[in-house]
């Protein structure tokens, strides 16, 4: 069985990897890939949330989006209603970007996704281990 810190590190490192891609890979100003920007913002948030779920709630494996939503809602001492609403909004925008295509999202959607990720990061900053 993996320890909380092991699972935390897996998800937190993936979160950092996604953030690195956002800052170096996507924001190159050469072309607009709003669908990918939104998708990576969502997956950065997903991994950050799963890192916190592991460390703070002892939940080491999340198999589905439905499971993650249930865990968020059942751990309201860690995850505020505001955070859950932000996460659900980011997930919805990401679903549109991933499954309805690049023409269904634009720069405003991408900026909204970035802002939602930043809000989620701010809400969870007290749970993030010093790296």
Cβ neighbors of 88 (< 8 A, separation 6 or more) are 69
Query: Is 17 strand, coil or helix?
Result: helix
Buried b (16+ CB within 10 A) or exposed e, 60-78: bebeeeeebeebbeebeeb
pTM (2 d.p.)? 0.86
Mean pLDDT in the chain?
A: 89
> What is the mean predicted confidence (pLDDT) over 5-21?
89
State pLDDT tens for residues 15-69.
Answer: 998 888 888 766 556 667 888 889 999 999 999 999 999 999 999 999 999 999 9
Between 86 and 129, the more confident residue is 86
pLDDT at site 28: 58
pLDDT at site 53: 96
> How far apart, in whole angstroms, are the C-alpha atoms of residue 73 and residue 84?
8
């Amino acid at each position: 069985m993996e320890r909380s810190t092991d699972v935390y590190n897996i998800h937190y490192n993936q979160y950092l990897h996604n953030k690195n891609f956002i800052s170096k890979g996507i924001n190159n100003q050469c072309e607009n890939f709003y669908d990918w920007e939104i998708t990576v913002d969502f997956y950065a948030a997903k991994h950050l949330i799963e890192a916190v779920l592991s460390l703070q709630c002892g939940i080491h494996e999340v198999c589905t989006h439905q499971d993650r939503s249930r865990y968020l809602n059942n751990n309201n001492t860690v995850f505020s209603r505001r955070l859950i609403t932000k996460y659900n909004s980011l997930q919805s925008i990401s679903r549109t970007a991933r499954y309805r295509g690049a023409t269904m999202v634009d720069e405003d959607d991408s900026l909204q996704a970035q802002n939602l990720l930043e809000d989620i990061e701010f809400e969870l900053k007290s749970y993030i281990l010093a790296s």
